[in-house]
Structure 1
Amino acid sequence: MRKTFTFLAAALLLIVIAQFVFATTGGFHASSYRLHHAMGYVIFFVPLIMAIVAAAGRLPARLVWVSLLVVGLDSLQVVIAEIGGSWTALHGLNGLAILASSGWLLKSAAPRGTPHAGRKSDSVAPR
């Protein structure tokens, strides 16, 4: 389950980065704005699936909760976009929170080896 979660976390991070690209080009191309709008739904469902995978795989609870945090932040994005006006600046800041949370999920999900795997020992070998 950890490999599945890690794959989904990597996909989520790439999707969120793509979301920023679509947002920045959306002012110039209507098709980019439509992609930005559609990706918002993907960003909602991927971390929701991640939370289910993490819970089913008995992964650390923080992975479940941060996945659900991304779902909540994405829901907040919709509310901010609908309100518009002076709240629009929060849309970008909230997007950065989603980006940071997605990056944290990938970093935390990646399997860890032994603390000194691949390193030579610091001790001096006997002669």
Structure 2
Amino acid sequence: MRKAFAGLAALFLLAVVVQFFLAASGAFNTAPNDESFRPHRTLGYVIFLLAVVLVIVAALARMSGRLIGMAGLVAGLVVVQVLIAALARAFDTGDITTTAGQLIFGLHAVNGLAIVAVSARILRQARALASRPVAGPAPTAS
């Protein structure tokens, strides 16, 4: 189960890296924002589902409380991403995005970097735990 968690953590980090690529390609696309950021938005919802599954698998694999907590932190940071994007869109007035909206979207990128950092730490710790042998029951003395 630890190897499954490590694999899921690797998949999650890969999805987050692809998310940055999709954000950059959407930013430089000449299509309207709704169309150019659609893949980024769609993968964002998949990332949220992966984050929730990551927490569940961490608990089922009986990972350390710290590792389960970090998985929960990532899920929380993904929720914050959605809230930041919704708040920034509230400041969008059609073709013109206000300065406040741009600043809020800047927080979206900073929070994304926090997600990368925590995800990388989760993966590093999960791989270390997956490579250790699982301790079996102690031998009994006869």
Q: How many residue pairs end up in the alignment?
A: 114
Q: CA deviation at 1:32?
A: 5.3
Q: Which of 18, 34, 39 matches 2:38?
A: 34
The residue correspondences of 1:84-123 to structure 2 (distance < 5 A) are 84=88, 85=101, 86-110=103-127, 111-113=130-132
Name the structure 2 match of 1:119.
Answer: none
Q: Which of 71, 77, 94 matches 1:73?
A: 77
Q: Which of 34, 39, 60 matches 1:56?
A: 60
Deviations 1:35-85 (A, max 9, x none): 110111111111211111111121111121111111110110111111111
Query: In the aligned structure 2, how far is the partner of 1:32 from the partner of 1:19?
Result: 13
TM-score by length of 1: 0.83
For residue 58 of structure 1, give the secondary structure of its aligned residue in structure 2: coil
Q: CA deviation at 1:3?
A: 0.6
| Equivalent residues of 1:22, 1:32 under 8 A apart | no
Gaps of 5+ in 2: 89-100, 134-142
Query: In the aligned structure 2, how far is the partner of 1:66 from the partner of 1:48?
Result: 12
Distance 1:88 1:49, change over 3 A: same
| Equivalent residues of 1:47, 1:71 under 8 A apart | yes
Name the structure 2 match of 1:21.
Answer: 21
For residue 8 of structure 2, give the secondary structure of its aligned residue in structure 1: helix
For 1:70, the aligned partner's letter is V
For 1:33, the aligned partner's letter is F
